[in-house]
Structure 1
Amino acid sequence: MMASLHDILASGWGLMLLRGALMTLFISLCGILLGLIIGVGGAALKTGGNPLWRGLVNLYTLIVRSVPELLIIYLLFFATVQPAADLADWLDLDDLMSAFFPMLVGIVAIGLISGSYSVEVFRGAFKAIAPGQLEAARAIGMSRGQCLWRIMLPQLFWYALPGANNVWQNALKDTALISLVGLVELMRAAVLGSAATRAPLAMYLLAGVLYFIIGAFSQAAFVWAERHYGRGMRVVRA
């Protein structure tokens, strides 16, 4: 095993795995940001009074959460690959298409998947904010914008942090599925490396260690954020 690890690092596959890990982080971050936008917007619509918007959000979350993540990725990829290829050919950007298209599919797929779960996370966070705080803010003359920025958003994201942590960890692992449409992220780098070095156990162990490191640091960051941004907040537990 030690000889295999030495050969892998000496032949440059260790650097390839690190590049794959960076791509995994990039896809996860971009996807989770898109998911947060969807989650906050969807939660606001779901807690609003318009039954049409509430029904559309419910339909979106039901469909995305009922369909396997891999199938969502395949549907996005095969539904858009031909139009994107035609557009790239017309603009003479074939190299750009092959380099960035799988990445864009990955970001959108992770965003849609994480967004469907973020809707419920932020809906619960909206419900956790005491209505009396907003009533008191309006009573002293605060505008809607001031209520949003000074009262709702700081508490909203703090209440959502535990659930957002789970969504983030799932998004990290879902990026491994993007390798099936050609994106060279961490899992794809491990697959290519195992075929080239004929040491699959060592390659997959290294990939697992990198996933663990990313997940552990992410967990620590969320724990710190909960403590840091929760200072001065009073949480009533049943």
Structure 2
Amino acid sequence: MTETALKILHEGWGLMLLRGAAMTLLISCFGMALGLLIGIAGATIKVSRARFASLLVSGYTTIVRSIPELLIIYLLFFGSVQPVADLADRLGWEDAMTSWFPALVGVLAIGLISGSYSVEVFRGALNAIPRGQVEAAKAVGMSGWLRLKRIVIPQMFFYALPGTNNVWQTALKDTALISLVGLVEIMRAAVLGAAATRESLILYLMAGALYFIIGAGSQAVFLLAERHYGRGMKGH
């Protein structure tokens, strides 16, 4: 098996897998960033108790969390591929359409999916902040922006870290589904390599090792962040 693995690496499939890993990280990071923006905005709306806006946010989270991730990707891809292709033809961007459209769909899909879970993560984080601290800040004349900067935001992100870690790990694995619309990430690279070399087991083991390295590495980063930002917090 070792000789076969070395042969696969020598033929360039190892580099292909590494490029796929870079694409996986790219899609996950941009998608997660979009999801965090959605999550923070949605959580703020739900905590503010604005009835109509809260109903819209609840409808979004319920719909997205009830539909399989693969179906969301298909709906986004096949629902927009023709209009985007027509626009690319008019602007002469056919190459960009071929290269980047699946990636853009991936970022949007991961963003919508992770955002639907992040709303509840950040809502819980906001509710975990002791109300007494905010009231005390008001009593000493602290402005709304200063309260946000010194009390709300630091604690919100600290309390949200464990849940955000779970959402991130899920987003990483969801990128494998985007390979079905043509994006060459880790899973797609492994499938192509398996078809070309007929060494499916080794290629999929390599793909699994890359997912494990990325997942374990990010888990360590989140744990370090929790320890760092938890200094001075009650119980830390």
Please state which band the TM-score falls in when normalised by the shorter chain. Answer: over 0.9
Match of 1:3 in 2: 3
Distance 2:142 2:99 in 1: 49
Match of 1:53 in 2: 53
Match of 2:91 in 1: 91
Instruction: Please list the CA deviations of residues 121-155 of structure 1 after superposition, one character each: whole Å capped at 9, or x if unmatched.
Output: 00000000011111111111111111111110000
Instruction: Please list the CA deviations of residues 20-79 of structure 1 after superposition, one character each: whole Å capped at 9, or x if unmatched.
Output: 001000100000000000000000001112110110010000000000000000000011
Secondary structure at the counterpart of residue 148 of structure 1? helix
Shift of 1:89: 0.4
Between the aligned residues of both structures, percent identity stands at 67
Match of 1:174 in 2: 174
1:111-122 alignment to 2 at 5 Å?
A: 111-122=111-122
The letter of the residue matching 1:159 is Y
Match of 1:139 in 2: 139
Match of 1:73 in 2: 73
Distance 2:231 2:49 in 1: 33
Give the ranges of 4+ consecutive aligned residues of structure 1 lying more than 4 Å apart after TM superposition.
none
Q: CA RMSD in A?
A: 0.9
Instruction: Please list the CA deviations of residues 83-111 of structure 1 after superposition, one character each: whole Å capped at 9, or x if unmatched.
Output: 11011000000001100000000000000
Shift of 1:6: 1.2
Distance 1:11 1:116 in 2: 41
Secondary structure at the counterpart of residue 141 of structure 1? coil
Q: How many residues align?
A: 236
Match of 1:149 in 2: 149
Distance 2:42 2:118 in 1: 9
Secondary structure at the counterpart of residue 98 of structure 2? helix
**Structure 2 unaligned spans of 5+:** none
Determine if the alignment matches structure 1 residue 12 to structure 2 residue 31.
Answer: no
Determine if the alignment matches structure 1 residue 100 to structure 2 residue 88.
Answer: no
**Structure 1 unaligned spans of 5+:** none
The letter of the residue matching 2:63 is I
Distance 1:127 1:203 in 2: 45
Match of 2:202 in 1: 202
Distance 1:130 1:99 in 2: 48
The letter of the residue matching 1:206 is M
Match of 2:226 in 1: 226
TM-score by length of 2: 0.99
The letter of the residue matching 2:105 is V
TM-score by length of 1: 0.98
